[in-house]
Amino acid sequence: MDFLFILLTGFVIGISGAMIPGPLTLFTISGTLKTNKFAGFKSISGHIIIELAIILVIFFGFNNLLMHKSFLQLVSIIGGVALVTMGIILFANSPKMKIVGIESKSDFDRGLVAGGAIFSLLSPGFFVWWATIGFSTLIKASLLLGIVGVVILTLGHWLADIAWYGFLSYMVDKGKNYLSDKVYQNIMRFFSLALIFLGVSFLIYRK
């Protein structure tokens, strides 16, 4: 019973977090438009690699680092500047972007895993989540079933991430068949402005 409870807890917490739009969501949608329906699985793979590192950091006793004000401020500044820069570059290049006849095996396809990791790290909310909700649920799972509980919880969380980003990528890939170059360019402009907005918010509202 504890096994199922922990698995469902990991899944529910994971899906609720995954569905909140952020840098990784925007990157995944953009990546899907440029490549194919498997973009979500690749970008979330990079995200999972970073989460595995965070879990190891927590269990090696460095959770206080994730909650330290100076650390979170530094992440906010670096992430904010990086997102604003990426948004500006994307906006400037949007007139040159074309979706008609795009090749799914583009160079962009090879950077999806790395991008998933980078866009996870660029979000201060990622560290805040793991220092609070993530940390507390890991401890609860550990108290119930030890290391097995931690593994089960993590698997539930990752299954949620994979399910949501796989679904998101699939739906976007289906929809891009009906896009013209002009609509595609406008979507990219929207994403670039969204990245700039997120970046500015990280810089203004850091604590």
Residues 6+ apart with CB under 8 A from 13: 133, 137, 157, 160
Please indicate, yes or no, if residue 87 is contained in any of the structural domains. no
Residue 45 has pLDDT above 60, yes or no: yes
Mean pLDDT of 18-36: 83
- Determine the Cα–Cα distance for residues 79 and 124; give it in Å rounded to an integer: 7
Please indicate, yes or no, if residue 207 is contained in any of the structural domains. no
Please indicate, yes or no, if residue 150 is contained in any of the structural domains. yes
Please indicate, yes or no, if residue 26 is contained in any of the structural domains. yes
pLDDT for 142 equals 83
Backbone angles phi, psi at 155, to 5 degrees: -65, -40
pLDDT tens digits, 115-166: 999 988 887 778 777 877 788 788 888 878 888 988 999 999 999 999 999 9
Which string of DSSP letters, residue by residue, matches 14-57?
A: HHHHHTS--HHHHHHHHHHHHS-TTHHHHHHHHHHHHHHHHHHH
How many beta carbons lie within 10 A of that of residue 191, not counting itself?
Answer: 21
- Cβ 40 vs Cβ 168: under 8 Å: yes
- Determine the Cα–Cα distance for residues 4 and 27; give it in Å rounded to an integer: 32
pLDDT tens digits, 69-82: 777 677 778 777 87
Residue 112 has pLDDT above 80, yes or no: yes
Number of domains in the chain: 1
In this predicted structure, which of 57-71, 161-175, 189-203 has the lowest mean pLDDT?
57-71
Domain encompassing residue 56: 2-63+98-190
